[in-house]
Amino acid sequence: MFSQFSAGYVRSFLVVIWCAVLAFQQEPIQLFTQHAAFAFLGVMGAVFANATGAGGGVVFVPFFNQMGFSPSTTVATSFAIQCFGMTAGAVTWWRFHLAQSGDNVQAIEHFVEPSFAQVNVGTTETLHTQQWQSLYAVLLLSIPTSIFGLLIAQYNPEWFGALAHGDKLHIGFGVFSIMLAISMFLMIAVSGRTAPKTHLCRIDSILLPIICICGGVITAYLSIGVGELLAVYLIMRGFNVTFSIACAVILSAVTVWSGVVHHVIISQGIYWPVVLFAGPGAVIGGILAKRLVLHFSPTHLKLFFAGWILILGLTGLIF
């Protein structure tokens, strides 16, 4: 009985906490009228972030730059918002994995998407298990190394010299993203109808930590990067595209939580009035993103992902 209502209790509790925080702010009505629109920004950023694994910073960073935020405030605020959206997306994808594997079906029925409880588990369980059997291995290889790269960049910026300057890193990351997008378009054009890969090879065990260390460094300065790199790598290696995005979302969620501590304690650059409204919006977007992904065919999803990576690259060059 408790499992049927626990999710509702959690949601209600969070709403009450949010209202209490708003009520204790100075001039809460004025704060609401000036910043409520940021909830839509949070929804939009989180939908694209959790549908691609690339992170919501590509939406937040250009917008905050146009508002005149300093670079440190822009990145710090983006980190804080993504802690809401990427966490919601990670939990949603994780519960999708459990439901499709035949585990914790009751939890998924009452928390995320009740229709999954009606799926023929006997038919889908084997296929899903085969396609997702590398989930734990991917996360084990990527999460520690991503956090390692991010913390090194945050606490030892002098190690990276010119890379620590946001403008130059934006240009380099923009060019790199465009090259990745072009590679993915070419891959889609020439790819056959082979079955997705279901397990990591020895080369993956070597390349994944290297890629995620580099992605962690990039994420420290842009608030995006590691999820994009992981998803692109897994897709280009032939893994299921939905599996690749789910891995990237979970990795991004853990990474931004590891990085936001620096901005809360040391940089203190987070602009909390924006986070107060964009954060809950990002939670909604993080939950809705999975529904968007599951409506695409694998080919269309790859095209959508490649197009989003191209937008990331162009945004990096423009902003």
The 10s digit of each residue's pLDDT in 117-139 is 444 444 455 656 677 888 999 99
Query: 301 near 293, Cβ under 8 Å?
Result: yes
Question: With 70 as the cut, is the pLDDT of residue 146 above it?
Answer: yes
Between the CA of residue 269 and those of 54, 76, 157, 163, 201, what are the distances in Å? 22, 5, 17, 20, 41
Q: What is the dihedral of CA 122, 123, 125, 131, to 10 degrees?
A: 160
Strand segments, DSSP code E, in the chain are none
**What integer pLDDT is reported at residue 101 of this predicted model?**
67
pTM of the model: 0.81
Residue 242 amino acid letter: T
What is the CA angle 211-212-214, rounded to 5? 70
Residue range 85-97, pLDDT digits in tens: 899 889 888 888 8
